[in-house]
Amino acid sequence: MILSIESSCDDSSIALSNIDNYKLLFHQKISQDKEHSRYGGVVPELASRLHSASLPRILENIKNDGFDFSKIKAIAVTNEPGLSVSLIEGVMMAKALSISLQIPLLAINHLKGHIYSLFLEKKAIFPISILLLSGGHSLILEAYDYNNIKLIATTMDDSFGEAFDKVAKMLDLGYPGGPIVESYALNGKGDICFPIPLRYSNEMAFSFSGLKNAVRVFIENKSLNQSIKSEICYAFQESAIKHIIQKSKKYMQYSNIKYFGVVGGASANKSLRMELEKLCIQFDKDILFAPLEFCSDNAAMIGRCGIDAYHLGEFVSFMDLDISPKSRF
């Protein structure tokens, strides 16, 4: 088995995966949404303290479930990108387990982990185009194999999920904003609209700060009732998704890669999924999503990624394992 640990932001999670048949044997995640909600975003110091309490609790549950720790052959841990004080908690636990169990470490890039959420309990598919939409990133990537991932497009400012979080904060709806804005949007009728970012630009890039600002300007000096909040959420979501669709379409016009995978916490958005499905039919692409439960941060995807790292012998020494707030691939 591989034991995997994820603590890059505000989810503490540990999983056990079978190295030979990819089966997920154990998975638990303790989310901190409730604790951060009153601040309208993640408070790093609070996240760190909560990880240091939650990770040992999950480990205790693994022990209580009767798993034999001598069958664990490696520890896979997210070491980048993320909040430094959060990443450190997982990495410290990984190092402690590696010493006590005398087994090697695997350093897993969180974004690569999201890609592998498509391959839970199965073999990886390459080459594959990836649309990664999360709280920290909005990317189009081309993955050719474990170590060959090409960046096609990124955001010039905010990320897709982050824009949902900020709009939710402006409307005082709570955190994380994505699912809340999505549910408010269900009651919108389309009475207002916001501009679509980079609509007339040829650039292969995303941008959400202008759209976010359009929402901010619209709500200035307005009293906001439930119905106007729904209209704002509807109009914001509509523009954000149209932007993703326009840039994905631009990409598909020249890409020959058959598979198109959509990953990251924001890939749970149902309207986004529907629009991307239509686009993939139009361009004859096979679309892949992670199971809804594994779109947001989780240790199962880190473990699945860890299995391929294990087979490639990509071990990292105790001394060399460090963290990085930025992605290095």
β partners of residue 66: none
Between 158 and 231, whose beta carbon lies closer to ligand KG4?
Answer: 158
Q: Which amino acid would we find at residue 224?
A: L
| 54, 296, 300, 303: which one binds ligand KG4 (CB under 6 A) | 296
Choose one: 42-50, 118-126, 142-150, 263-271; the region binding ligand KG4 (CB under 6 A): 263-271
* Cβ nearer to ligand KG4, comparing 9 with 14: 9
Question: In the complex, what is the shortest distance from the CB of residue 161 to ligand KG4, in angstroms, rounded to a whole number?
Answer: 3
- Of residues 219, 214, 274, 265, the one with CA closest to residue 242: 274
Q: Which is nearer to Zn ion, 134 or 155 (CB)?
A: 134
CB of 291 vs ligand KG4, minimal distance in Å: 14
Which one of 64-72, 189-197, 291-299, 302-310 is the stretch in contact with Zn ion (CB under 5 A)?
A: 291-299
Stretch that binds Zn ion, among 132-140, 143-151, 172-180, 270-278 (CB under 5 A): 132-140
Mask for 5-34, x = binds ligand KG4 (CB under 6 A): ----x-------------------------
**Structure token digits, residue 51:** 């990880």
The H-or-E segment that residue 96 falls in is helix 84-101
Q: What is the dihedral of CA 162, 55, 115, 69, to 10 degrees?
A: 180
Packing angle of the helix pair 209-219, 226-252 (nearest 10 deg): 160
State the Cα–Cα distance between residues 313 and 318, nearest whole angstrom. 15
- Distance CA(254)–CA(118), nearest Å, equals 23
Residues with Cβ within 8 Å of residue 123, at least 6 apart in sequence: 22
Name which position in 40, 90, 136, 197 contacts ligand KG4 (CB under 6 A): 136
Tell me how far apart the alpha carbons of residues 30 and 238 are, in angstroms, rounded to a whole number. 31
Q: Considering only residues 26, 116, 164, 184, which one is a binding residue for ligand KG4 as defined by CB under 6 A?
A: 164
CA distance 161 to 208: 10
| 235 makes contact with ligand KG4 (CB under 6 A) | no
Which residues of the chain form contacts with ligand KG4 (CB under 6 A)?
Answer: 9, 134-136, 161-162, 164-165, 176-179, 182, 264-266, 268-269, 296-297
Which residues of the chain form contacts with Zn ion (CB under 5 A)?
Answer: 134, 297
